[in-house]
Amino acid sequence: MRNKVSVGEYLAFLSLKYEVDPDKFFYALNSALEKQKATCGELLIQRRSETPDEAVFLMTKNTKVVSQFPIPRRFLLEQHNPIKTHRTTGLLSRRTIRKPETPHSTYIKDLRTGMKKINLTAKVQTIPKPTLVFTRFGNYASVTNASLTDETGTIKLCLWNEQISTVSTGDIINIQNARMSMFRGEPQLKIGRNGKLSIIAKMESPRLENQRV
């Protein structure tokens, strides 16, 4: 994004796409900078990190990630709303605005048995107590089927060993290069050797961070 469009153009693009008032959007960003999070329409804006020069914001809609990128502090301190300025000057119609390059994400309702190379962003709903099993490789391993949810449904995710301890109930996670299979008549997601699981947003309450259902 940095080499293609300005921050103002990109935020103006988001305000158009998600139909939020540019003044309210600008106010929400400043509010999130000060209070760590704010809402604007259906968007949840969270300040993820900050430096003296900029802050990184995560934007989600119904737990689905919209974008995560840095905004310079000087931009947020401008007297006249730069988002509104870019929406009214016609710059958006003269340039092609590209969102940050991220893998195409699938909704849970679209998952089918046999699908491969699945990318999914969802919220961890429950994590049952792990079970110790004896694998075909001749060793013991811990396994559990976590329940994931998005705005379209729920699905089980098979987690092994250290994967289990990396996630907590309430986390928003992103899964890349997973596959769908059936286990005992129930569909479930599996993260293969080439797959990846990452935490996008940790649960808010530290007291619940280690909770397992």
Last residue of a domain, one of 94, 121, 155: 94
Last residue of a domain, one of 94, 125, 149: 94
How wide is the angle at C-alpha 187 spanned by C-alphas 183 and 191, nearest 5°? 80
Q: Are residues 126 and 197 in the same domain?
A: yes
Task: Quickly count: other Cβ atoms within 10 Å of residue 180's Cβ.
Answer: 17
Q: Are residues 122 and 81 in the same domain?
A: no
Q: Are residues 153 and 88 in the same domain?
A: no
Q: Are residues 79 and 112 in the same domain?
A: no
CA neighbours closer than 13 Å in the CB half-sphere of residue 203: 17
Residue type, 165: S
Domain containing residue 68: 7-94
**Nearest one of 165, 149, 141 to 157, comparing CA atoms:** 149
Q: List 155's β-bridge partners, or say none.
A: 148
Does residue 36 lie within any of the structural domains? yes
CA of residue 97 relative to chain centroid, distance: 21
Instruction: Round the CA-based radius of gyration of the chain to a whole number and report it.
Output: 20
pLDDT in 10s for each residue of the chain, 213 residues:
344 568 888 898 888 888 899 999 999 999 999 999 999 989 999 999 999 999 999 999 888 888 888 999 999 999 889 898 887 765 554 444 444 444 456 889 999 989 999 999 999 999 999 998 887 777 888 999 999 999 899 999 999 998 898 899 999 999 999 999 998 888 999 998 888 998 888 765 444 334 444
Q: What is the pTM of this model?
A: 0.49
Does residue 103 lie within any of the structural domains? no
Q: Are residues 203 and 114 in the same domain?
A: yes
**Structural domains of the chain, count:** 2
Both tokens of 132, joined, read 């110790």
Q: Are residues 121 and 179 in the same domain?
A: yes
Q: List 37's β-bridge partners, or say none.
A: 46
Round to whole Å and give the CA distance between 46 and 73.
Answer: 15
Does residue 1 lie within any of the structural domains? no
Does residue 136 lie within any of the structural domains? yes
**pLDDT of amino acid 95:** 46
Q: Are residues 129 and 179 in the same domain?
A: yes
Both tokens of 69, joined, read 């990128």
Q: Are residues 177 and 114 in the same domain?
A: yes
Give yes or no for a contact between 148 and 120, defined as CB atoms under 8 angstroms apart. yes
Q: Are residues 196 and 124 in the same domain?
A: yes
Give, in order, the Cα–Cα distances in Å from 131 to each of 143, 175, 184: 5, 22, 16
